[in-house]
Structure 1
Amino acid sequence: MKSMRSPADLAINGSPPAFSEPLHVGRPNIGDREAFLARVNRILDNQWLTNNGPMVQEFEQRIATHLGVKHCIAMCNGTIALEIAIRALGLEGEVIVPSWTFVATAHALYWQGITPVFADIDPATHNLDPDAVRRMITPRTTGIIGVHLWGRAAPIDELQTIADEHGLKLMFDAAHAFGSTYRGQSIGRFGACEVFSFHATK
């Protein structure tokens, strides 16, 4: 691949493409096809395709064991998981979120009549800036949703201190962070709860 020097070097402007085929951000790593198909066959043989079947139960148990947590609940996607977690924590009024995150973090609040309040991020990490969070707290604030962006942990200790000082609930959107750690502990063990995503782009 040759280096690009100007917009004229882009294929869209008539230059030859840099890659022989399109590159897709969301193309998954399929892994062991035989092992995958064997599990699909087990699902079909059980004739249990939805509603807490044995494969879902095994998935939840294995994730909980891997993370060293008591509970793991599988949902259809990360956005719904955020909504359910927000309801479970009884959040209302205003909830502080980072100004730089995927829109689902804010949508999961807004769709439930909760106002997402956008706090500045640390430009070096792209995660919530604890000082900005402190500035955004009002009498209507009930919680903070930290986001572990790009697999890099949010400032967990600082956010937990702020939440404890103000009686706020703290949860994390950990969609980018399955397999990441913070000070030697797996992401998934912090705040009141954490939400992962297993979408292909994560």
Structure 2
Amino acid sequence: MDPIYVTKPYLPPFEEVSPLLRQIWDRKILTNSGPNHQLLEADLIRYLGIKNISLFSNGTLALLVALKSLRLVGEVITTPFTFIATANSICWNNLIPVFADIDPITFNLDPVDVEKRINSNTCAILPVHCYGNPCDVKAFEALGENYNLPVVYDASHAFGVEIDNESILNFGEFSTLSFHATKVFNTFEGGAVVSPNLSVKKRLDRLKNFGFVSESVVASNGINAKMSEFSAALGLCQLNYVDKCIKMRRNIAKVYCELLAGVNWLSLPCYPENIFHNTAYFPVRVGLDAFGMRDSLVEHMKEVFEVYPRKYFYPLVYDFPYFSGYHDKERYPLPNATKAAAEVICLPIYPDLSESDISRVVESITSFRC
């Protein structure tokens, strides 16, 4: 039997992409905000219901440049339950990551715990919409206003997500997106920063292009982070299918919830009615009272059924050697994040997952004996 991995990138029909590739060959414009780049920005603004967007070569550079544009100095409060790129972007800006605990239900940064860590050195708050679950944006907006701190959202998982019929990307100083191959919407590699006004977008666009204001004037310490015309061309085609892909993901999540509802040692995700979820991931908690049970289940799924879930996110960011010096676990224990890292796995979910594949994933779990 073929292995079932946690995700598989969706690609549009090649015959729809090839005319755009022919245009690139004919125009000989490969980068530097070419026609495809400009079209994709315009289409994403319409699709996502946002004001401005700047395309980047990947999501990590999008976040790095967004932080750079704010000219911050000091500490940035963020979550340890995230992909390593979130913290990397902080450190690459010579800023200090400060880790706060998460909410045990949404897995998002807890605004109450964040407020406990705000001090005179705090310069920003960086929440993550973990698994596409919206953060408590009202609470974070209030914290930002009360303490005069910018709030930058890592929305890598949250393409197309809405709360109360509004794009989750419209909150905060910035929201950053990833268009990596594993994401709901991919451009092979890519990313973006959603910004509130045109002047901020122009600054971001300068920073991603070496800091150039004109051909002979460099106004800031920029970097090369531009999206290529190839990636933009794929994105233009992908937008025609993203609604279909999200619908298929939501259907798979519904089937998982129905078939796994009777597994009493498994805690399933919940989807509030006021949130339009993209089901970018399907996280479950394993054995709420049995330490180490998660790892045994994962090995069973792999060895017996060739099903490959992922332990997102394990280890916690501050357990990686480079970041270990940034957090005193004994003085500031983060129990919710620690427990989630020991218990959560993400099950395979992607549009091409067949009914037989879903059945195999479910059987790999239900056949496990605690």
SS of 2:89's partner is helix
Percent sequence identity over matched residues?
A: 39
SS of 1:157's partner is helix
TM-score where L is the length of structure 1: 0.87
Is 2:93 the counterpart of 1:112?
Answer: yes
Is 2:118 the counterpart of 1:140?
Answer: no
Q: Which runs of 5+ in 2 are unaligned?
A: 184-370
Q: Report what 2:108 is aligned to.
A: 127
Q: Report what 1:70 is aligned to.
A: 51
1:1-202 alignment runs, 5 A limit: 20-202=1-183
Offset of residue 26 of structure 1 = 4.6
Offset of residue 112 of structure 1 = 1.6
Distance 2:165 2:77 in 1: 27
Offset of residue 119 of structure 1 = 0.7
Give per-residue Cα distances to partners, 1:69-120, cap 9 Å, x unaligned: 2211111101100011001122220011112111111110111210011110
Contact 2:78 2:100 in 1 (8 A): yes
TM-score where L is the length of structure 2: 0.48
Give per-residue Cα distances to partners, 1:124-152, cap 9 Å, x unaligned: 11001111110110101011111111111
User: Which structure is richer in relative contact order (CA contacts within 8 A, separation 6 or more)?
Assistant: 2
Distance 1:189 1:182 in 2: 10
RMSD: 1.2
Give 2:112's aligned amino acid: D
SS of 1:188's partner is helix
Give 1:154's aligned amino acid: C
Q: Which runs of 5+ in 1 are unaligned?
A: 1-19
Contact 1:120 1:128 in 2 (8 A): yes
Offset of residue 67 of structure 1 = 2.4
Tell me: CA distance 1:37–1:24, structure 2 relative to 1, closer, same or farther (3 Å). farther
Distance 2:73 2:44 in 1: 29
Contact 2:160 2:167 in 1 (8 A): yes
SS of 1:116's partner is strand
Distance 2:139 2:147 in 1: 13
Give 1:166's aligned amino acid: Y
SS of 1:175's partner is coil
After TM superposition, the structure 1 stretch with the greater mean CA deviation from structure 2, 170-179 or 27-36, is 27-36
Which is helix-richer, 1 or 2? 2
Tell me: CA distance 1:26–1:42, structure 2 relative to 1, closer, same or farther (3 Å). farther
SS of 2:53's partner is coil
Distance 1:110 1:144 in 2: 14
Aligned length: 183
Distance 2:55 2:6 in 1: 24
Tell me: CA distance 1:71–1:31, structure 2 relative to 1, closer, same or farther (3 Å). same
